Structure 1
Amino acid sequence: MKVHHLNCGTFDSPLAGTIVCHALACETDNGIVLVDTGFGLADLADRSRRLGPLPRLMGAKFFESETAVRRLEGLGFATSDVTHIVATHLDFDHIGGAGDFPNATIHTTAVEDAAARARASASDKVRYRPAQQPPDSEMRTYSGPGEPLLGFPDAHRLDTIGDGFFLLPLPGHTKGHAAVAVDTGNGWLVHAGDAFYHHSVVAPPGVDSPGFQGRFMRVVEKVLADDRSRISENHRRLRELNTQQSSHVTVFCAHDRKQLEELQQRG
């Protein structure tokens, strides 16, 4: 499987620095599978209705060239080539581009889909945008017992996509948040979404200092989390997974610029 690491949205702020929206485009026998989408063309055209004020306050830049549809066109693909989208969660900066791919089925946990539709809490009303919510006909959701995978007891195999794609439930940032595991044939890529924000979280102890940005992003992570009590345990599980070199696993998050650039250089 050939995997392209794409930046599908940029934020820039004095304290956090440059933050990316890391998405994957996976070439499979059944078409292109996207993992997250960043912002979409409709988001840029109608920011107030589709996104609300928070992205601008966070320093969003809104470049059309960074949307997933334009990134894929630059790689020689058409919108019809995208057959599936796997969402770590349904926040506005992760699902906004889904509407640019009308032929795609969107996969997420049933808990996340229900939370996005209910928008029960004040924070849910900010993070989940009704104008971005895909129709039921485009959604496939997963719940109940799964199967053991990479130390997770209840992974959901995404059979309709084909071999090699799994949702790993990892609630905390949102109620139904999940990491997405991709078996590339040369090892595992684990897109952890917003389960952490800075590369130092999954580095071995003492190897990578968080610095000011890393410490600041951990504060942001707590502010934005639906359940703060789960953050430390999620960090521990992902760090343990990332440092098991024999299992050929690479763990990365959605918003860390350094991780994105390293994976792009690695090809």
Structure 2
Amino acid sequence: MNTGTANRMWALPGAEFTLDTGIMIVNGQGQVTIPVPSFLIEHDRGLVLFDTGIAFEAAEDPHAVYGDLADLVGLAYGPEDRVDRKLEALGYKPSAIDHVIVSHAHFDHAGGIRLFPDAQLYIGEGDLPYSYWPLPAAKPFFRTADFDTTRDWKWNQLSTDHDLFGDGSIVIHRMPGHTPGNTSVLVRLPNQTFLLTGDTVHLRQALTEDLPMPSDYNTLQAVRSIRRLKQLARAHDATVWISHDPEDWATLKHAPACYD
């Protein structure tokens, strides 16, 4: 059994969305303001970034980048919210990042990829082509400009779960459904284990009630992945951190504080 650990993990604040809960979960009611974070993980073998937030250009003119989508999601985003600025506040340049894990290809998780041309990039198999030819209901959530210049970069398209360093400290788990290649990441630290959901679920209610997103690629796969998420959390005694859940964000520490 692999029992290695990463050293530290920071949750990096990013944009905020204020939107209809029904966009994120079936039968969701009312509006909610949600975080759009990234996570930085320090391991002896390199720095790992999980998700990259939205496009850095949008900090200056969100409508020029996203058009009506900026209004649909109630985008709040300034220059200080860019993922590169958050890294620099911790003393790291984007060039210091060795590995970037993209949970899936939606605009709010893949928007900063172009800041990391020298990193190894990881995404679930099927997501890159789907980002160019998505189902109609999902089309607003993809921005192909985030990928156009990265075609010849160091992409690792994962068809199975992947233990990033072979020691069990950072394991990318395939969680298809939200998108074809959607993933979540298990992070084992010296004093705590986290399961970073990405968009396998969007809100705590989705986790407890097995609720998919209305525009998911495959509803049955999405529900199976939610159930697998809960099984993994029990097996590893892991804290489930739902990326977009405002209560998780309010309860758990974020940068400059870290978990170790």
Please, what TM-score do these two structures have when normalized by structure 1?
0.78
Question: Is residue 12 of structure 1 aligned with residue 18 of structure 2?
Answer: yes
| Structure-to-structure mapping, 1:63-212, within 5 angstroms | 63-116=78-131, 118-133=132-147, 135-144=150-159, 146=160, 155-159=161-165, 164-202=169-207
**Shift of residue 200 of structure 1?**
3.9
CA offset digits 1:126-159 (Å, max 9, x no partner): 2221111151232422344x4xxxxxxxx22234
State the partner residue of 2:47: 32
State the partner residue of 2:249: 260
The answer to whether the Cα contact below 8 Å between 1:241 and 1:251 also exists between their aligned partners in 2 is no
The answer to whether the Cα contact below 8 Å between 1:22 and 1:260 also exists between their aligned partners in 2 is no
Q: Structure 1: state its 5+ residue gaps.
A: 147-154, 204-209
**Shift of residue 10 of structure 1?**
0.5
Q: Distance in 1 between matches of 2:190 and 2:122?
A: 22
Instruction: Say what the alpha-carbon RMSD is for the aligned residues.
Output: 2.7
The answer to whether the Cα contact below 8 Å between 1:44 and 1:62 also exists between their aligned partners in 2 is yes
Q: Distance in 2 between matches of 1:137 and 1:166?
A: 25
Higher RCO by CA contacts (8 Å cutoff, separation 6 or greater): 2
Structure 1 stretches of 4+ moved >4 Å: none
Which of residues 225, 250, 265 is equivalent to 2:239? 250
CA offset digits 1:156-198 (Å, max 9, x no partner): 2234x98632221111111111112222233432211111111
In the superposition, relative to structure 1, how do residues 228 and 163 fare at CA in structure 2: closer, same or farther (>3 Å)?
closer
Question: Is residue 223 of structure 1 aligned with residue 214 of structure 2?
Answer: yes
In the superposition, relative to structure 1, how do residues 30 and 138 fare at CA in structure 2: closer, same or farther (>3 Å)?
farther
The answer to whether the Cα contact below 8 Å between 1:21 and 1:254 also exists between their aligned partners in 2 is yes
State the partner residue of 1:207: none
Q: Distance in 2 between matches of 1:46 and 1:158?
A: 36
State the partner residue of 2:224: 233
Counterpart residue identity of residue 234, structure 1: S
**Shift of residue 87 of structure 1?**
0.8
In the superposition, relative to structure 1, how do residues 125 and 66 fare at CA in structure 2: closer, same or farther (>3 Å)?
same
The answer to whether the Cα contact below 8 Å between 1:9 and 1:62 also exists between their aligned partners in 2 is yes
In the superposition, relative to structure 1, how do residues 257 and 139 fare at CA in structure 2: closer, same or farther (>3 Å)?
farther
Moved more, 107-116 or 235-244: 235-244
**Shift of residue 254 of structure 1?**
1.8
Counterpart residue identity of residue 225, structure 1: D
1:175 is paired with a residue whose SS is coil
Counterpart residue identity of residue 12, structure 1: T
Q: Structure 2: state its 5+ residue gaps.
A: 1-6, 21-29
CA offset digits 1:11-37 (Å, max 9, x no partner): 124733210113211122344211001
Moved more, 56-65 or 41-50: 41-50
Please, what TM-score do these two structures have when normalized by structure 2?
0.80
Q: Number of paired residues?
A: 240
1:62 is paired with a residue whose SS is coil
